[in-house]
Chain A
Amino acid sequence: MIVSNDSTDAALFVKVSREDVVKWDRKSIVEALLRETTISPELAEKISKEVEETIIKSKIKFITAPLIREVVNGKLIEYGLEEERKQHTRLGLPIYDVDQMLISRNRENANVPHGPEATNLTLAESIKKQYALLKIFPPEIAVAHEKGDFHLHDLGMIDRPYCSGNSLEYVKKFGLSLPNAISISKPAKHPEVLIGQMIKFSAALQGNFAGAIGWDAVNLFFAPYLVGVDNEKLEQLAQMLIFEFAQQSVARGGQSIFSDLNIYWEIPKHFIGVPAIGPGGKFTGNNYEDYIEESQKFAIALFKVYKEGDGLGRPFFFPKPQVHITERLFKTEGYEDFLYLISDVSSDKGNTYYVFDRGETAKISECCRLSFKLEKSDFEDAKTPWKMRYSAMQNVTLNLPRVAYEAGGSDERLFEIITERMELMARAHVYKRNFIKKLLDMKNQGPLSLLSMNRDGEPYYRLHRATFLFGMVGLNELVQYHTGEEMHESNQALKFGLRVIAFMKKEAERLGEKYGLRFVLEQTPAESTAYRMAKLDLEHYRDEALTVVKGIVEKNEIYYTNSTYLNVGVPLSPIERVKKEGMFHPLIEAGSLSHIWIGEARPDPGGIASFVVKTFKNTQNDQIAFSPEFTSCLDCGRTTRGL
């Protein structure tokens, strides 16, 4: 950062990024410009001379390489070289911001832990986000995100896919041998060891995914390790599993692993007749259906732990238990007691998520609201369950109220704008995919070596099976602005909402075909996105937004209603809510959820169980959860990082 400006030879010194101080050399500017931009050598010479003159004339005493770069950038702008300026730009943060970040807690989101790990993550994310918007996505997409037409989620994690569904069978079969790890573990022989491997692998995966790490059929896949294990030991193992997950809040950025445990009471149809893997990663000679007793006992043990809560009796936020409610469940002995137990946990702690797999569908849930319907090819996978690894690559959320503002009441225009926006969103998916593919293609040598490790004939991350998500915020406000009524207010309004989502689904399918990718709708699990969009619209579409935005404008506590939800502020019977919100669920393939607020009193578990059964039998609702109180963390557990 040094130094003097000796009048004789202008011996200016420059502090450069590799922790060194070098003598001023104009040529470095030329080299950088030629290396990084498409500018001509003559122009580079010219600019470097002008910059040198400016710096020397200024008589400044300290100069750093970044500052020189900014001066050069200034020159590039003077010359109207916008593209070259972008190529030559620096990414970083003002020192003031870093100071704030390191020392004070994030005021906007108290749930984000504060500590050296957390600020490392925030800093890294902020630079990667800038990188993504400049380098991965073309300007029209970056600008649409910045303006708030739509939201590209997890930009700070641009070099990772979004979320993943995993199979314990992979860990059982192959043990834990992560690329670049110093030591490898063979397939586990004992359940404790398997738990340890599962958690460590989860932590490793969390370093490679932005969102949730889901585990399918956990109780069933543990079962072959639990033969002959007595109840006391079983409960200990359940405790170990849940506490170890819950207390991993020392992992990436000081956050917990966003983990989900999928649990079945019955043997899912697709696992019947499938040879079971047991201790040592060997086939036991039995099929999964032979382990139903152990599987059920473990499910009960897990829920007993959820019922107890943590050391202070508080609920565990992670790992989330997702129980699949299927036709088979009702044909499997003992289901009433099990339903009562998990409903009791709902009533007491709120943990249980009820995932409804009606008819022949089966689903893997990865994050509280994200589940994937298994398709034909997946049922083939089920015969080799270690291959059941799924992922959503990215999530882009459309700002629906703004579409209505711009359409100005015209149906035709409204649907046109949706098409335009989704086209751009689809292209954003293609860019993300190509970037991740590039990293994956580097295999062992690349940053995603964990995801490209190949133990079973294909890479861990099965790119061809990746899904790309189109989320939405504020359907209710779109409908309200466009038709004059909120969705709970009239059938017509509700129908219009359905029409919009059906249209989005069709568009997603059309675009999927066009780009050869699997595009599906998703309910965006991001309250902060609903806030961000409301805020931006109040700035740029003030008059329009004021008529529909929810919350308190004066206090800046505003939001749009999440995804396709009905207004959360109106007292609506839980029955109406699961029925009406459920009407959207068949259109939203990547899972959707209704929240039932049950107030402060502790409801009767039997009543909850009855409600769950009816929701399964009498509605199209995909997933419900009960929340003892309204808190945003229960709502999702995950607050989006980034803008």
Chain B
Amino acid sequence: MQIKGFIDTTFLDWDGKVACTVFTPGCNLRCPFCHNHGLVLNPEQYEDVKEEEIFDFLTKHNDFIDGVCITGGEPTLQKGLDKFCERVKKLGIKIKLDTNGTNPTVVRRLLEKDLVDYIAMDIKAPLNEEQYSEVSGVRCEVDKIRESVNLIKNSGVEYEFRTTVVPSLHTFRDIEQISRDIKGAKLYVLQKFQPRFAMDRGLRNSRVLSDDDMKKLVKIISCNVDKAFFRGK
């Protein structure tokens, strides 16, 4: 698997766990608010991290590492993803997958092979072709997104759906609609948009939502999902 970044120890990426995070290059979406756009647009600027280096670390420290977070870019585009996960699991370490949900086939396969323990799936917009495509920057097949949502909901593994709330792209109504689209989900997390790092320069000066706004939103979505909260300062 191609890896472009490795954080050997983090308390940030998987709640309750001592985790590592690996970053895979490339993505099939172009979300204007993406803050990993270097990895999406010009991954060649980053040096490859050798798998061996990561497994050396994991082998030495699997008495500490609870889990590996695989993020990107979009990890489901990676050819060696299954193999990588298998190797990690063999060490008794859990896996969290971040995905944009455009590849239900890969998600299904990983679930069937029991290779993931937590899935965090982005929901970019209410599940209709037009809005989804606008917010994700490319034409999107919403059916696939919906398929992923259902797969994950019924998978039995722990999961979260999450949305980065961008004031100029989302209305409160949109967020409420998303919560209806994923109705009954166990956990829905809203993330505060960090304009400074946005892919689209035009967004970099946009306003930041206040904690109060976020709390209001959480309240709005709470009735459609089991649990909701927001992240970000």
Task: Tell me if A604 and B12 are in contact (CB < 8 A).
Answer: yes
Within 8 A of A (CB), among B1-54: 8-12, 14-19
- Map CB proximity to A onto B52-73 as digits: 1 under 8 Å, 0 otherwise: 0000010001011110000000
Task: Tell me if A606 and B16 are in contact (CB < 8 A).
Answer: yes
Task: Tell me if A607 and B63 are in contact (CB < 8 A).
Answer: no
Q: List 22 A-B contacts (CB under 8 A).
A: A347-B11, A573-B8, A573-B9, A573-B57, A574-B9, A575-B8, A576-B61, A579-B61, A601-B12, A603-B11, A604-B11, A607-B10, A607-B11, A607-B12, A607-B14, A607-B17, A607-B19, A609-B16, A610-B16, A610-B18, A611-B64, A614-B18
Q: Is residue B233 contacting chain A, with contact meaning CB distance below 8 A?
A: yes
Task: Tell me if B18 and A602 are in contact (CB < 8 A).
Answer: no
A607 neighbours in B (Cβ, 8 Å): 10-12, 14-19
Chain B residues engaging chain A, CB cutoff 8 angstroms: 8-12, 14-19, 57, 61, 63-66, 233
Within 8 A of B (CB), among A570-618: 573-576, 579, 598, 601-604, 606-611, 614, 617-618
Q: Tell me whether A598 and B61 are in contact in the complex, defined as CB-CB below 8 angstroms, given that A606-B17, A607-B16, A610-B18 are known contacts.
A: no
The distance in angstroms between the C-alpha atoms of A22 and B77, with both chains bound, is 97
**Given A573-B8, A606-B15, A611-B18, 16 new contacts (CB under 8 A):** A574-B9, A575-B18, A575-B61, A575-B65, A576-B61, A598-B11, A603-B10, A604-B12, A604-B14, A606-B16, A607-B10, A607-B17, A610-B16, A610-B66, A614-B64, A618-B63
**A-B contacts at CB below 8 angstroms, number:** 52
Q: How far is the CB of B117 from chain A (nearest CB, A)?
A: 15
Task: Tell me if A610 and B63 are in contact (CB < 8 A).
Answer: no
Which has the most chain B C-beta neighbours within 10 Å: A576, A606, A607, A609?
A: A607
- Map CB proximity to B onto A606-643 as digits: 1 under 8 Å, 0 otherwise: 11111100100110000000000000000000000000
B10 neighbours in A (Cβ, 8 Å): 603, 607
Task: Tell me if A608 and B11 are in contact (CB < 8 A).
Answer: yes
Task: Tell me if B15 and A575 are in contact (CB < 8 A).
Answer: no
B8 neighbours in A (Cβ, 8 Å): 573, 575
Q: Which of B19, B65, B233 interacts with A602 by CB under 8 Å?
A: B233
Complex: chain B residue closest to A598, CB-CB:
B11
- Map CB proximity to B onto A347-363 as digits: 1 under 8 Å, 0 otherwise: 10000000000000000
B9 neighbours in A (Cβ, 8 Å): 573-575
Task: Tell me if B12 and A603 are in contact (CB < 8 A).
Answer: yes
Task: Tell me if A618 and B64 are in contact (CB < 8 A).
Answer: yes
B57 neighbours in A (Cβ, 8 Å): 573
The distance in angstroms between the C-alpha atoms of A576 and B15, with both chains bound, is 21
Q: How far is the CB of B55 from chain A (nearest CB, A)?
A: 15
The distance in angstroms between the C-alpha atoms of A603 and B15, with both chains bound, is 9
The distance in angstroms between the C-alpha atoms of A606 and B17, with both chains bound, is 6
Question: Which 9 residue pairs across A and B have the least CB separation, nearest first?
Answer: A606-B16, A607-B11, A603-B11, A573-B8, A618-B63, A575-B64, A573-B9, A604-B15, A614-B64
Q: Which of A573, A608, A617 interacts with B61 by CB under 8 Å?
A: A573
The distance in angstroms between the C-alpha atoms of A575 and B19, with both chains bound, is 11
The distance in angstroms between the C-alpha atoms of A598 and B9, with both chains bound, is 10
Complex: chain A residue closest to B20, CB-CB:
A573
A603 neighbours in B (Cβ, 8 Å): 10-12
The distance in angstroms between the C-alpha atoms of A598 and B18, with both chains bound, is 13
Q: Tell me whether A614 and B15 are in contact in the complex, defined as CB-CB below 8 angstroms, given that A573-B8, A575-B9, A607-B10 are known contacts.
A: no
The distance in angstroms between the C-alpha atoms of A544 and B8, with both chains bound, is 35
B63 neighbours in A (Cβ, 8 Å): 614, 617-618
Task: Tell me if B233 and A604 are in contact (CB < 8 A).
Answer: no
A611 neighbours in B (Cβ, 8 Å): 11, 18, 64
A575 neighbours in B (Cβ, 8 Å): 8-9, 18, 61, 64-65
A609 neighbours in B (Cβ, 8 Å): 16
The distance in angstroms between the C-alpha atoms of A601 and B19, with both chains bound, is 15
B65 neighbours in A (Cβ, 8 Å): 575
A604 neighbours in B (Cβ, 8 Å): 11-12, 14-16
Complex: chain A residue closest to B14, CB-CB:
A607
A598 neighbours in B (Cβ, 8 Å): 11
Complex: chain A residue closest to B233, CB-CB:
A602
The distance in angstroms between the C-alpha atoms of A598 and B10, with both chains bound, is 9
